[in-house]
Amino acid sequence: MANYEQELLDFMKETAYKPMTYQELEKHFGIEGAVEFKEFLKLLNKLEDEGKIIRTPNDHYGVPERMNLLRGKLQSHAKGFGFLIPDEKDHGDVYLHANDLKSAMNGDIILVRVTSRSEHGGRMEGEVVRIVERAVTQIVGTFEDHEVYAFVVPDDKRINRDIFIPKGGYQGAVSGQKVVVKIVSYPEGRSAAEGEIVEILGHKNDPGVDILSIIRKHQLPEGFPDEVMAEAEAAPDSITDEEIVQQGRRDLRGEVIVTIDGEDAKDLDDAVHVKRLENGNYLLGVHIADVGYYVTENSELDQEAYRRGCSVYLVDRVIPMLPHRLSNGICSLNPKVDRLTLSCEMEFDAETLKRVRHDVFTSVIRTKERMTYTNVKKVLTATEEEPQTELKERYADLLDMFGLMEDLAMRLRSKRMKRGSIDFDFQESKVIVDENGKAIDIIKRERSVAEQIIEEFMLVANETVAEHFHWLRVPFLYRIHEDPSQEKLLNFVQFAANFGYAVKGKGNSIHPKALQTLLEDIRGTKEATVISTVMLRSMKQAKYDAESLGHFGLAAEFYSHFTSPIRRYPDLVIHRVIREVLNGGGQLTEARHEALTARMPDIAQHSSERERVAVDAERDTEQLKKCEYMLDKVGEEFEGIISSVTSFGMFIELDNSVEGLIRLSDMSDDYYNFHEQHMILVGERTSKIYRIGDEVKIRVTRVSMTEHTIDFELVDMKPRSGKGIPSSFGGERGGKKRGGFGDRAGSVDRGRGGKERGGSSEGGRGGKGDGAGAGGRGRGGASEGNRGGRGGAAGQGGAGESKRGGKGRGGKGGGRGYGGGEDRSVVGIVEQANPWRIDAPDSGRGGKRRGRGDGEAGAGVNDGGNSPAGRGPGQEADMPPGQGREQSRGSGSGSRTDMWGLPIRGGGGPGGNGRGGAAGKRRSEGSGEAARRKNTSPSGVFNGERSADAVSAEGSDAPVKSKRKKKNGGGGNATAAFVRKNRK
């Protein structure tokens, strides 16, 4: 019956197909007999449960894409919104507003209805129709006891609702402990998710609990199941001559072969040798542990390796893909013992370095030495002052080969650079921990000539194997890196042009060689860091695929992962394919070919997902330990460089690779505006400019072990001048500092941030609720307020959407996120100083607090962009005053569009019940007049002169002649659009 599945799906995807009942489908496929009919119904139910087909209310079946629905995975953001990553590779991601997610959580498989598209169909908005499969079943967080009930605050900030724990389900947990919670019921509407505690990890400050929490958060496995360990224990300790002869392996035990790895490496899965042939050509041999010989397909070991996907290298431990019995034993290419391998030998022309011959075969080797990067580097870089006599004597018989290795590797690298391979030379670091897991030092990882030798040899072997098996037309797994989006590349080219660099290209395409040429041009210059960083963020993330689509970053047409089967499952999979092809005389049987072809896409997707989890976990532990290392450095001063510039501040990277944030609110010597295109902050009064790559002197002010964030401040920062400006400006509000760390712009991971997801950069958290940044890809720059259950501060809406006006967002007594429940009647101060001040009055909030109080629907829209007067902490400015995207509100003239050029639903006409007028598709529950401004130009800028006593309140018909702020929807955002003609 399984054969029907793909046939059924293909049939339903046909253009001529119209939804059929199960009786019609039964007739079409010629189902006969009760048993076959029963199996067919089971298949229909299975596909419906998986969301691959849909059953309509009148019992007709069809595929989602033909019903304006998309199936895919939810990738949610800490600010509440999310994106659908469709199953269809060619389909773009779909933005999902926080209110359209229903109860879906990060990682869930969902069905989404696309509700709107941009003019050219590039950007889409949608809403969740159905949750097909839950991804999150357990959550790690901090337990908070409130006597009658309790909450668990999730460590994963993408889960922005706390988990309710009813009385009696505490299992002995007390406040401050890290716990694992099993979700019993998922959030619905305003109801929180409910859970039960299944494991208490310990108090959050206990040694080891921090790393354990991250392991549980990412659901990383620790120990191996008994049946897996039993298979591992059954593996032999040595190789017999009978095995070698029986398998027909090529005997390379007489060759001079070595491994070169780090000092602490125990799983040695690659070995190399180089020699000159009689014709003068180079012969390079790359020999990889034949793990597939011991881990057979569908065995317990294989299934466990598939689930894990890869080994995970945390700061203080390794979570291996295979048990140590294999990874450190029979599969590890330990010195002076026989080991089974898969080899790739390549012959390179001595003059052109063109590969003239290659061979892939099974082999047996015996390595001569277990070399380390450090010793190889010392031998190759020995000088008269440091002759390294002892090492040279020890490895005397290997010195010529090491010299040949260096010569070949550097020539291979030069050739790779010439063809356009991009080489980012970013400094890496390693956190050193003591026996208790406490961070005691951070050291830089050196990329010496020894590392480069192995890097080049592995790259050329991976390319050779990928090309060889591509032309054999057998099912395979490739490592691909897709071309960057034209939009992101264009933005980068414009950015580089600001520094006087021209990136050459044809039409809208740019060859990676042009980017590598640029990297070489800027090497050693002050702007090298800034341009390299922005270039990296403009690219997509590499992943696995069943099709060979090329590798943009390496400028390689064919590329695969062949060299690390001990720690990467895709390598193990292709090793099996290689051995089958070799044993089958260069081809597979037809049945085997079909079976592998069907399975490869799933393996590729799963492996890419597991790799992403591993990278996230490694990054989390590294950031955690860097924060721990900086805990006792608060108050100390350091030199650093600006690594990123955002609308809410600057990230500074210290020499030890620690990164911290200087908030815009703490830069007290001037008022700084963020220029997205140039990625700079510019002072209004002093015209001082801060850009990526600038050197600054900072002081550590705060380290949060809860948020894993570090705050800096500039040394010798003088206060702003201006009458009536409080000296406490830039301090803490609502119990915590404003803003926080958000996702930085344009990471390589699927273009999050940047221009593709989430605007130029994402704002961070403020107080107990998230004072979130502009949504970017959200509805016209709508700011997302998170954590409704804990008083989330809904940031002021930008050019698209105003957050709830009539009823606030805070669940427990209103927001302690920035500005919630405060008396901010500081209009006089704003007038005398700067209307872009963060403490300008609120507008359009529907009441002074963010509780559940009813009030008028606040206008909440500023024609000149979302000013700091209306932004939550860490939220982005959409654009400077006077450059608004929309006509004056309430004019009713023409259709309005959001930041994507999409028509705003429910727009047009003044007033209404919160769905028309000022904010398109506003989710305000109160009714009242929408905002209207008098005496405004189309850009929203006042034509008349203004004074301190003439501040127009949003939602009113005339200027208010009082400095006092109105209680309902007082006029903060309006001040941002004023022209400061008379201010001196």
Residue-wise pLDDT for 197-255, tens only, equals 999 999 988 888 999 999 998 989 989 999 999 999 999 989 988 888 888 899 999 99
- Read off the pLDDT of residues 21-61 as tens digits, 9 standing for 90 and up: 888 887 788 887 888 888 888 888 888 888 888 887 778 88
662: β partners? 650
Q: Say what the pTM is.
A: 0.69
Q: Are 869 and 973 in contact (CB under 8 A)?
A: yes
What pLDDT does 445 receive?
Answer: 82
Phi, psi of 947 (to 5 degrees): -135, 175
Distances (CA, A) of 706 to 105, 141, 542: 22, 10, 31
Q: Are 288 and 342 in contact (CB under 8 A)?
A: yes
Smallest Cα–Cα separation from 921: which of 190, 69, 116, 121?
116
d(CA 920, CA 115): 14
d(CA 184, CA 192): 11
d(CA 846, CA 2): 57
Distances (CA, A) of 557 to 415, 574, 809: 15, 18, 51
Buried b (16+ CB within 10 A) or exposed e, 951-978: bbbbbbeebbeebebbebbbbbbbbbbb
In the sheet where 680-683 sits, what is the strand order? Answer: 672-675, 680-683, 689-691
- CA atoms in the 13 A half-sphere facing the CB of 296: 4
User: Which residues lie closer than 8 Å to 403 by C-beta, 6 or more apart?
Assistant: 380
Q: Are 671 and 785 in contact (CB under 8 A)?
A: no
- Read off the pLDDT of residues 303-317 as tens digits, 9 standing for 90 and up: 999 999 999 999 989
Distances (CA, A) of 435 to 68, 211, 432, 438, 528: 57, 14, 10, 7, 39
Residues (pLDDT < 50) of the chain are 1-2, 722-895, 897-984
Phi, psi of 369 (to 5 degrees): -145, 150
Task: Compute, in degrees rounded to 10, the torsion defined by CA atoms 830, 835, 836, 841.
Answer: 60
Smallest Cα–Cα separation from 930: which of 840, 802, 779, 835?
802
d(CA 248, CA 362): 8
- Read off the pLDDT of residues 53-84 as tens digits, 9 standing for 90 and up: 888 777 888 888 777 788 888 988 888 899 99
d(CA 241, CA 239): 7
Smallest Cα–Cα separation from 381: which of 276, 459, 451?
451
Rg (CA), the chain: 31
d(CA 645, CA 651): 6
Distances (CA, A) of 194 to 122, 162, 185, 197, 642: 38, 9, 5, 10, 43
Quick one: tokens of 160? Answer: 């922005």
